[in-house]
Amino acid sequence: MGFLGNILWFIFGGLFSGLSWALSGILWCITIVGIPYGKQCFKFASLAFAPFGKEVIYGGGIPSLFANVIWLAFFGIPMALENLFFGCIWCITIVGIPFGIQFFKIAKLSLLPFGSKIA
């Protein structure tokens, strides 16, 4: 399911989701201070392009908490709402539920990207 799921995912919504992460990364990298945020966005853009077969491990400490608060204020909420919306749309049909679940996984990641790792 992983390879076929990733191909279908890319066609039916993954491209848009991945481009959102990439655009956020470009905007963050405009300033020197934002480069760590931009690097994180590019890392998660690869997940947004092909999420099947990958797992997100959440963790981190106080520095991750502060970085997540700044992220949440500028980009986290709109990106989480975008992915939540598409996840709900996909979950309307039984066939779309696996895609909806992947959108929900990315929505959660949109809220707390720092301290998270892709496995």
Question: pLDDT tens for residues 66-103?
Answer: 888 888 888 788 888 988 998 999 999 898 898 899 88
Task: Name the pTM for this structure.
Answer: 0.80
Check residue 115 and give its pLDDT.
Answer: 81
Q: Specify the long-range contacts of residues 4-7, CB closer than 8 Å, at least 24 apart.
A: 5/52, 5/53, 5/98, 6/50, 6/51, 6/52, 6/53
More confident residue, 59 or 38: 38
d(CA 33, CA 17): 24
Q: Write down the residue that tokens 């400490």 correspond to.
A: 61
Question: Helix (H, G, I), strand (E, B), or coil: what is residue 75?
Answer: helix
Question: pLDDT tens for residues 32-51?
Answer: 888 988 888 888 888 888 88
d(CA 11, CA 34): 30
